[in-house]
Structure 1
Amino acid sequence: MSDTDKVFAGSIPKIYDAYLVPLIFSVYAEDLARRVAARAPSVLLEIAAGTGVVTRAVAAALPRGIRYVATDLNEPMLAVAAQRQADDDRITWRQADGMALPFGDAEFDVACCQFGAMFFPDRVKAYGEVKRILKDNGTFVFNVWDRIEDNLLTHEATVALEKLFPDDPPRFMVRTPHGYHDKAVIRSDLERAGFRDIRIETRSEISRAPSAEYVAIALCQGTPLRSEIEARDASKLQAATDIVAEALRARHGTGAVEGKIQAIVIEARR
């Protein structure tokens, strides 16, 4: 993982929230919210909350009287999340590193994490931290993206960028968001961290956008892919966005765009 893969700062958080969340994240947030609500937690921790799409979905699904702590490594992402969330005294926002959670042992009934595990430098260590803060029989609910080939628009965008940077194409999407999808490895990592009753399933959905340009902005400017493009040539961000949009228009037409997305959803018990 590159040092910039975990950095969501500058203009990225707002573009991420405005474009990427409705494009690919909302549908999986609703799925996680249903799973969390089914566990009826009284004290809940969210790791890698981003701009709060899961937080909003879970908060809407849970009753009054719970305690909900939403964390993220990147404070700029949490700032957007807090601004987007209606006043809710159940929720505490806190900057935190998933590798070293600043909470006591056995403090939470449930921990959830949407598309964050791929960013952990040491997943067994991170899962061990989650196990530590969970109560006995507590549940860890999370998801990761499946391989990039099963996520059509992101795959097409990655291929398109190879034309602009043929000698050193940006590989953020392949390397990190779509780099942790082997179910056997995921299960092994959780078992090594001490989890049991591990359930893993594949969940396919359809991603929809009003235009190819919308998808190009979401991916090229609303993720750390932006930093990777600018590291190659800071003047080519718009050119990169344009070449992705052109490639998507060539495949999907000039109107609305849609494509398969696929994730892996995991539930494990302490």
Structure 2
Amino acid sequence: MSGNPLAVAEPWDLVADGYAEFAPAVMQPFSARALGFASLSPVSQVVDVAAGPGTLSLLAARQVAWVEAIDFSESMIARLAKNAAAAGLTNISAQVGDGQALPFDSDRFDAGFSMFGLMFFPERPEGFAELYRVLRPGGTAVVSSWAPVVESPLMRMMFGALAAADPDIHEPQPNFLSLENPQVFESEMRAAGFEAVSIQRHSIALTFGSPEEMWETMVRSSAPLELMRHSVEPEVWAERATLMKAFLVANYEPNCPLSTTAYLGIGHKPEG
């Protein structure tokens, strides 16, 4: 279903450390919002699919009995385990695996999540079906996907910088066959068996003290940027980095908030 270069592990392995350091500023508010939809309790069992460095897992572990975290990137899982240990959290199990073929028994979890992960799966229906399978009857799933880039000033700024360095890169146009389309999002969750499906829109805003700070955040945590860096010779990358930084200096006003928007899909596995 997908030829997306972000549907494979390599770019995520490359950015694991930087992503774990900088991405929570964006991801944590969405993760907190997602957890709020799941009616968790101290005895809840949770699965976090495409868990990355554990932004949601670390938050969930403070509220529930157990978290199973899975991601196809070994580097992300290693960082997740390191973060859990540093936080003194002993109720997270982190493993490398495929979200389209989860290594868990059916009807096991009270809640399941996939924050900006399932959206990249080559076969999204399999991802939704697996999430549905491992939930117990009455369990809740929350899946997130970015809204179209055109609705996100933060992402438009990032793609503007990329295009300044490589004119062949264009801002992604809305993909109405993807989870960017709330109707597709809802229909795919329902097709997997979920009921009472709701697609909620949620926005956050970030500020940076300077264009240089924004560049540092981008270069450490952006998988598309890492793909660019590893696809060209070092001298070409140095030239492109100079152009991207110049774009940000010309276009980003320090401390100006830039928003980004996501959809959260909430679905429930029927009782009985």
| TM-score range for the pair, normalised by the shorter chain length | 0.7 to 0.9
Q: For residues 214 and 170 of structure 1, do their structure 2 counterparts lie closer, same or farther at Cα, with a shift above 3 Å needed?
A: farther
Pick which of 85-94 and 212-221 moved more. Answer: 212-221
Residue among 33, 44, 47 paired with 2:46: 44
Q: How does 1:31-180 map to 2 (within 5 A)?
A: 31-36=33-38, 38-40=39-41, 42-60=44-62, 62-63=63-64, 66-85=65-84, 86-166=87-167, 168-169=168-169, 180=179
Answer yes or no: is the 8 Å Cα contact 2:13–2:74 preserved in 1.
no
Q: Select between 41-50 and 10-19 the one with higher mean Cα deviation.
A: 10-19
Of 95-104 and 153-162, more deviation after overlay is shown by 153-162
C-alpha displacement at 1:3, in angstroms?
A: 4.1
Residue type at the aligned position of 2:224:
L
| Alpha carbons 2:47, 2:112 under 8 Å: kept | yes
How well do the aligned residues superpose, as a CA RMSD in angstroms?
2.3
* Residue 161 of structure 1: how far off its partner (Å): 2.1
Paired AA for residue 148 in structure 2: R
* 1:172-212: CA deviation from partner (whole Å, max 9, x where unpaired): x7699xx6310001111111111111011111111222322
Note the C-alpha offset of 1:222: 2.0
> How many residues are matched?
260
Amino acid at match of 1:247: F
What's the counterpart of residue 182 of structure 2?
Answer: 183
Separation (CA, whole Å) in 2 of partners of 1:229 and 1:130: 32
- Structure 1: gaps (5+ residues): none
Q: Specify the code of the residue in structure 1 equivalent to 2:115.
A: Q
**Which amino acid in 2 is paired with 1:252?**
Y
Q: 1:200 to 1:152 in 2, by over 3 A?
A: same
Contact 1:117/1:123 (8 A) holds in 2 = yes
For the residue of structure 1 that corresponds to 2:257, the secondary structure is: strand
Q: Matched residue of 1:209: which SS?
A: coil
Write the letter of the residue equivalent to 2:110. Answer: D
Identity percentage of aligned residues = 21
**Structure 1 range deviating more: 141-150 or 233-242:** 233-242
**Unaligned residue ranges in structure 2 (runs of 5+):** none
Question: What's the secondary structure of 1:101's corresponding residue?
Answer: coil
Kept after mapping to 2: 8 A contact 1:105/1:134? yes
**Poorly superposed stretches of 4+, deviation over 6 Å:** 173-176
Judge which range, 103-112 or 227-236, deviates more. Answer: 227-236
For 1:64-118, what per-residue CA distance to the aligned partner results, in whole angstroms no more than 9, with x for missing partners?
xx12111111110111111112232221111121111011111111101111121
Q: Which stretch shifts more, 203-212 or 121-130?
A: 203-212
Deviations 1:209-247 (A, max 9, x none): 232223333334423213431354232334434433322
- In the alignment, is the contact (CA less than 8 A) between 1:4 and 1:227 conserved in 2? no
CA distance in 1, matches of 2:238, 2:256: 20
Give 1:150 deviation, angstroms.
1.7
1:233 counterpart residue number:
232
CA gap of 1:17–1:44, structure 2 versus 1, over 3 A, is same
1:14 aligns with 17
CA distance in 2 between counterparts of 1:222 and 1:115 reads 14
Query: TM-score, normalized by length of structure 1?
Result: 0.86
| Partner residue in 1 for 2:197 | 198
